[in-house]
Amino acid sequence: MKALVNNTIQIDLSQPLDISIPLSNDEKNPIAWYQGLPKIEPVRMGTADSEWIGKVSEGSSSTNFNNIFFNPHAHGTHTECLGHITNDFYSINQCLQTFFFTAQLISVIPKQNGEDWIITKEQIETLLLEKKPEALVIRTLPNEEAKKHKKYSHTNPPYLSEGAAVFLREQGVMHLLIDLPSVDKEHDEGKLLAHKAFWNVNDVKNVNKEARFNATITEMIYISEHISDGDYLLNLQIASFENDASPSKPILYKIE
């Protein structure tokens, strides 16, 4: 099925490119921020003598009825709003109200800076080729499939420089997607320079009127090698959580 967007962009809706990482309760699940594995387990009720287990294969239930415990920031692909860093509560469910955006996918080799590896303004500026997409999708190189299962805690992953985040804000990029656990350094003394720069938040206790309430950051995506750099239509899907972040399912569609 093909569709026209704004009478100018043609996409094939039968060819979605899923760049999310599924959540599972085993070692295949990526983990960040010093958390354990997520839990997906059947509900258990009653006593030891007459226990009801929400699992069909256990014989006591006609349905599979699981509880799920996870942290959206630590356990996989998630989309967050500026409420992630502010004193006042802001919900991703309220901040993200539209879900289709023009997007550009770029691949970047982070540059070494002392003990760190960073993505710089100059790199992004060169790769954008003066385009101004609504969303920017960043794939870091090398693009190992191990990203889908990586345990990131205490590994000091690459991150985005403050200058790069300022540049994206000034270019009007509203939605930033990246295959790392954070746009900021793992241990940065709480500075969160890239988050603050992208959302234009100067004071987390008194959010300025110029803050970008509708801008989002999506982290821990994975972009397969068969998806080439270029222009896409992005469908940014979230669950309706009243929380600063939600697990998400970003989908790319190649623009024909």
Listed in sequence order, the DSSP H helices in the chain are 92-95, 121-128, 162-170, 193-199
Which pLDDT does position 50 carry in this prediction?
A: 84
Cα(243)–Cα(13) distance, rounded to whole angstroms? 30
Burial label for 96, CB within 10 Å (0-12, 13-18, 19+), is buried
102: pLDDT strictly greater than 70: yes
Tokens of 256: 């024909």
pLDDT band at 232 (very low <50, low <70, confident <90, very high): very high
The CA-based dihedral angle spanning residues 89, 214, 156, 17, taken in that order and rounded to the nearest 10 degrees:
130
Which pLDDT does position 147 carry in this prediction?
A: 97
Residue-wise pLDDT for 164-193, tens only, equals 999 999 999 999 999 999 999 999 999 999
In degrees rounded to 5, what are phi and psi of residue 54? Answer: -80, 60
Residue-wise pLDDT for 28-49, tens only, equals 999 999 999 999 999 999 887 8
- Looking at per-residue pLDDT, the higher value among 2 and 71 belongs to 71
Number of Cβ within 10 Å of residue 71's Cβ equals 16
Domains and CATH numbers, the chain: 2-20+77-254 (3.50.30.50), 39-69 (no CATH)
- Exposure string over 34-65, b if 16+ CB within 10 A, otherwise e: eeeebeeebeeeeeeeeeebbbeeeeeeeeee
Largest CA distance in the chain: 69
Which pLDDT does position 245 carry in this prediction?
A: 98
